[in-house]
Copies of this chain bind each other. A is one copy, B any other.
Amino acid sequence: MSDAAPTLPNFRSDNVAPVSPEILRAIAEANRGPAAAYGDDDYSRLLNARFSELFETAVTVFPVSTGTAANALSLASCARPYGAIYCHEEAHIHTAEGGATEAFTGGAKLVAMSGRNFRIEPSSLRKALGGAAWGVRNRSQPDAVSITQASEYGTIYPLVEIAEIGAIAHDRNLSLHMDGARFANALARLGCSPADMTWRAGVDILSFGATKNGAMSADAIVVFDQDLVESLSYRLRRAGQTSSKMRFASAQLLAYVEDRLYLRLAAKANAAAARLGAGLAALPDVQLIAPVEANLVFINLPAFAINRLAASGLQFARRGQDVIRFVARFDSTEQEADEVIALVRRAIAGS
């Protein structure tokens, strides 16, 4: 079986990607005889050590089956039921996870903030926290900040900005969570170390995405603040997020970071997106909604052109009346990017 429209490129989402061959191979290799369940196997026990090396500090890693679970359970370990979590108004946790964070926290409140280029601005955060009703019993109490790196629109927080947000959060005893559904794409772009983009900048807990970038069914929560570990470990099991045959998730995650595979995959996706973004921006009637810094390209396009484009069979995502999104993947090619540019040009021209 295979999905339709084989001749046209698919830029709908990074969730449509296949699994990278390296990761599929790792799964097959892990399939040797019996192995202890629920994380007591050799692969899972390696995870903490391997990720601690990668992040240059002692971390605890929990494989989970989806990014939604990673985000909501991370935040549930940081926020009290009467707590508030500050995020951008376009944050996935706020707009596209069906209320998972509210559910797993027991009803904490997401405080959504606007911010240029789809990022929280440190000054806005400082102002919001300054105006919060600390200690007032009928007001939700600030407990956490969540930023998405790369953001839902493919923009990237500079390290200095993460650090500033981290400092503001920690000044007030808030935890800083990073939704890293596209962690590798951001890291590949910034060229810094995983440590620099996370705990050194103040991140306490990370949703470490792998599925969008070549894994099959494995994301992870990476915990830097070890005080969060115990509560989280119970919450995961209770949420049905502790895999019995965990070796297969762990093997995916180990392969994903082995030899910088994750960065190589992300770099390919970023490159395709960069080419696509540049090509589209050069077209008449096209405006980029946000700078293309990772693997996402959002553009304004007249509705008639969007309709024509959709009719062509090209796979992309509509994000409003005259906004569309293209997502490049590790298996996207420059040739595919060029095809899309040509299709958009034709859709505008009406030919």
Contact of A237 (CB < 8 Å), options: B28, B95, B138, B329: B138
Known contacts A3-B33, A10-B34, A31-B18; A65 and B68 CB within 8 A of each other: no
Q: Which residues of B contact A31 (CB under 8 A)?
A: 18-19, 24
B42 touches A15 (CB 8 A): no
Q: Which residues of B contact A107 (CB under 8 A)?
A: 99, 102-103, 105-107
Q: Mark A56-77, 1 if CB is under 8 A from B, else 0.
A: 0000000011111110110000
Say whether A188 faces chain B, with CB atoms less than 8 Å apart.
no
Interface of A, helix, strand, loop or mixed by DSSP: loop
Say whether A245 faces chain B, with CB atoms less than 8 Å apart.
yes
- What is the count of identical protomers in the complex? 4
B15 touches A37 (CB 8 A): yes
A99 touches B65 (CB 8 A): no
Say whether A16 faces chain B, with CB atoms less than 8 Å apart.
yes
Interface residues of A (CB under 8 A from B): 1-3, 6, 10, 12-13, 15-19, 24, 27-28, 30-38, 41-43, 46, 64-70, 72-73, 80-82, 95-100, 102-103, 105-110, 137-141, 211-212, 216-217, 231, 233-245, 248-249, 315, 329, 331
Q: Name 23 A/B residue pairs within 8 A (Cβ), A-sorted.
A: A3-B42, A6-B33, A12-B34, A18-B35, A27-B27, A34-B329, A65-B240, A66-B243, A73-B240, A82-B99, A82-B235, A95-B139, A96-B138, A96-B139, A97-B237, A99-B109, A103-B107, A103-B238, A106-B106, A141-B234, A216-B245, A216-B248, A240-B241
